[in-house]
């Protein structure tokens, strides 16, 4: 077995390898034309992240506010989900998954069946019973807890979270994944024995905003201290900072990527989620809710990091870390084509963090220039191209670091050190 011939590029094309994804095989349909059609049909302007994501075959529009999330984006989302899971579990969060079909009865008890108005997607089952598609899950999670009877204070705090699809009939779904009618949210619900508003800044609610021109929220930011607030919550027209009293408030725009709320006993009171306190007396639990827009964060990152032509990802979230480019078929340096595949496989083996993260752009009928342009557009953090210098006795590879735009010529060892 030690002498088994190394698989060649042709072999791996005919036998798809799980270790070396080939660009020619990736399902990344570019749908540039649809952007125009869709925006014309909806009379809506689009935004950079939506345009870039559709051009690159990362998302495909289905109906207003709904997208096919294509394979590369799913890879990226899974990375984000893993990061969020790590953080949630580090603070003691336990992951669960609640039904998206929520009974109207629960929502009537909290009065949100009426309060939510048209934003709630409503439907009936075959027996005529009414449901909504969950836009958030305070009712459901509180009812779940209440169904367990009276807890002991020793069981608290309890932190339950999920990352699931949420449904909201947004009046203006737009900007791609930034404002969908179906989107992924991480929602954590906490049940405590004591209210601790300190955790969320002594306020009842705290928004997390990513500064961006495309943002739909208007923010007032102090030039001198850390103060910032959503215009919705402040005296309109105010220009002096209420925190430091010195600075001037300047208006800017932001994308709301997260929102935490101190819910108090609002839901636990309605659904009777109780615990026995240290004096063994029953009391209702204090609740908090911590929401993160998973799909929105992804699109927002692309929105703020990309140029007009090329996608740039936060390094950790790029669908693939490295793209290896063999020379054009039939070119002077065609002899290093096999070496490209070897290098791509080698990187995944030498560096565990790159396992499954290296793709080979095997579209060797295309010039290296055209493929470099594609790679730049897709924003692989590192592009490794094989040219003249790869034919030298100690082959050197052209390495482009997309984040900085820097180009280097590195040997195999140099490449491993860099990555
Ligand atoms: P917005 O003000 O943008 O409508 P929201 O205040 O209604 O958001 P929350 O109820 O606070 O949203 O939900 C928590 C998080 O879910 C938000 O901070 C955001 O990141 C995300 N989110 C809300 N609505 C959408 C949507 N339509 N598309 C994508 N993500 C969303
Ligand atoms: Mg909203
Ligand atoms: Mg909001
Ligand atoms: Mg909000």
Mutate to test the pocket of ligand 1, among 291, 297, 298 (most ligand atoms within 8 A of CB): 291
Task: Note the pLDDT tens digit of each residue in 57-116.
Answer: 999 999 999 999 999 999 999 999 999 999 999 999 999 999 999 999 999 999 999 999
Task: Note the pLDDT tens digit of each residue in 188-232.
Answer: 999 999 765 554 445 689 999 999 999 999 999 999 999 999 998
State the closest ligand 1 atom to the C-alpha of 187, by its place in the atom list counted from 1: 14
Query: How many angstroms does the Cα of residue 66 sit away from the middle of ligand 1?
Result: 15
Taking the C-alpha atoms of residue 343 and residue 386, their distance in angstroms, rounded to an integer, is 10
Give the per-residue pLDDT at 34.
47
Task: Note the pLDDT tens digit of each residue in 301-358.
Answer: 999 999 999 999 999 999 999 999 999 999 988 888 899 999 999 998 999 999 999 9
Give nearest CA residue, ligand 1 atom 19: 293
Task: Give all strands of the β-sheet with 101-103 in edge-to-edge order.
Answer: 101-103, 130-133, 121-124
Tokens 């969060």 sit at which residue? 93
State the closest ligand 1 atom to the C-alpha of 185, by its place in the atom list counted from 1: 16
Pocket of ligand 1 (CB under 6 A): 136, 168, 170, 179-180, 183, 185, 256-259, 291, 293, 295-296
Task: Note the pLDDT tens digit of each residue in 118-170.
Answer: 999 999 999 999 999 999 999 999 999 999 999 999 999 999 999 999 999 99
Taking the C-alpha atoms of residue 222 and residue 414, their distance in angstroms, rounded to an integer, is 46
Global confidence as pTM: 0.91
State the closest ligand 1 atom to the C-alpha of 297, by its place in the atom list counted from 1: 20
Residues sharing a CB contact under 8 Å with residue 395, sequence separation 6 or more, in sequence order: 336, 339, 386, 389, 411, 412
Are the C-beta atoms of residues 297 and 329 closer than 8 Å to each other? no
Does residue 2 surpass a pLDDT of 70?
Answer: no
Give the per-residue pLDDT at 238.
86
Residue 6: pLDDT band with limits 50, 70, 90: low
Query: How many angstroms does the Cα of residue 18 sit away from the middle of ligand 1?
Result: 36
Does residue 4 surpass a pLDDT of 70?
Answer: no
Least confident range of 162-171, 199-208, 251-260, 265-274: 199-208
Tokens linked to 80? 């984000």
Taking the C-alpha atoms of residue 36 and residue 51, their distance in angstroms, rounded to an integer, is 9
Give the per-residue pLDDT at 233.
84
The DSSP symbol for 124 reads E
Ligand positioned closest to the Cα atom of 296: 1
Taking the C-alpha atoms of residue 14 and residue 155, their distance in angstroms, rounded to an integer, is 56
Query: How many angstroms does the Cα of residue 184 sit away from the middle of ligand 1?
Result: 10
Task: Note the pLDDT tens digit of each residue in 378-401.
Answer: 999 999 999 999 999 999 999 999
Taking the C-alpha atoms of residue 228 and residue 155, their distance in angstroms, rounded to an integer, is 36
Ligand positioned closest to the Cα atom of 209: 1
Give nearest CA residue, ligand 1 atom 9: 259
Average the pLDDT over 29-52 and give the result: 65
Give the per-residue pLDDT at 204.
87
Sign for the CA dihedral angle at 54, 60, 63, 67 comes to negative
Mutate to test the pocket of ligand 1, among 174, 288, 293, 300 (most ligand atoms within 8 A of CB): 293
Query: How many angstroms does the Cα of residue 175 sit away from the middle of ligand 1?
Result: 13
Query: How many angstroms does the Cα of residue 220 sit away from the middle of ligand 4?
Result: 17
């Amino acid at each position: 077995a030690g002498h088994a011939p190394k698989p060649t590029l042709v072999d791996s094309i005919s036998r798809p390898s799980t270790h070396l994804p080939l660009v020619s095989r990736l399902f990344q349909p570019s749908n540039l034309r649809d952007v125009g059609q869709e925006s014309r049909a909806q009379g809506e302007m689009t935004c950079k992240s939506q345009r870039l994501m559709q051009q690159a075959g990362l998302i495909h529009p289905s109906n207003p506010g709904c997208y096919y999330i294509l394979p590369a984006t799913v890879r990226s989302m899974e990375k984000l989900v893993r990061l969020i899971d790590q953080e949630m579990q580090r603070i003691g969060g336990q992951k669960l998954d609640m039904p998206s079909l929520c009974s109207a009865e629960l929502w009537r008890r909290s009065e949100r069946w009426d309060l939510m108005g048209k934003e709630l997607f409503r439907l009936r089952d075959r027996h005529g019973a009414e449901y909504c598609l969950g836009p958030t899950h305070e009712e459901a999670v509180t009812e779940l807890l209440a169904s367990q009877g009276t807890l002991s204070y020793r069981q608290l705090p309890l932190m339950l979270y999920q990352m699931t699809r949420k449904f909201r009939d947004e009046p203006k779904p737009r900007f791609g994944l930034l404002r969908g009618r179906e989107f992924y949210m991480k929602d954590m619900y906490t049940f405590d024995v004591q209210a601790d508003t300190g955790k969320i800044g002594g306020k009842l609610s705290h928004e997390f905003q990513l500064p961006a021109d495309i943002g739909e929220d208007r923010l007032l930011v102090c030039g001198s201290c850390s103060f910032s607030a959503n215009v919705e919550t402040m005296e309109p027209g105010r220009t002096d900072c209420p925190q430091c009293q010195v600075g001037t408030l300047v208006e800017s725009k932001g994308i709301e990527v997260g929102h935490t709320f101190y819910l108090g006993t609002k839901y636990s009171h309605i659904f009777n989620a109780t615990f026995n306190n240290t004096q063994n007396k029953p009391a209702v639990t204090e609740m908090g809710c911590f929401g993160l827009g998973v799909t929105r964060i992804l699109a927002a990152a692309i929105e703020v990091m990309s140029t007009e032509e090329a996608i740039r990802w936060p390094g950790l979230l790029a669908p693939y870390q490295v793209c290896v480019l063999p020379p054009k078929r039939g070119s002077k340096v065609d002899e290093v084509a096999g070496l490209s595949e070897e290098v791509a496989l080698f990187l995944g083996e030498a560096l565990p963090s790159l396992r499954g993260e290296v793709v080979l752009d095997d579209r060797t009928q295309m010039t290296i220039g055209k493929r470099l342009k594609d790679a730049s557009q897709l924003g692989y953090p590192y592009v490794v191209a094989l040219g003249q210098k790869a034919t030298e006795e100690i082959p050197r590879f052209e390495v482009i670091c997309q984040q900085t735009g820097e180009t280097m010529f590195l040997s195999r060892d140099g490449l491993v050190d860099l990555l």
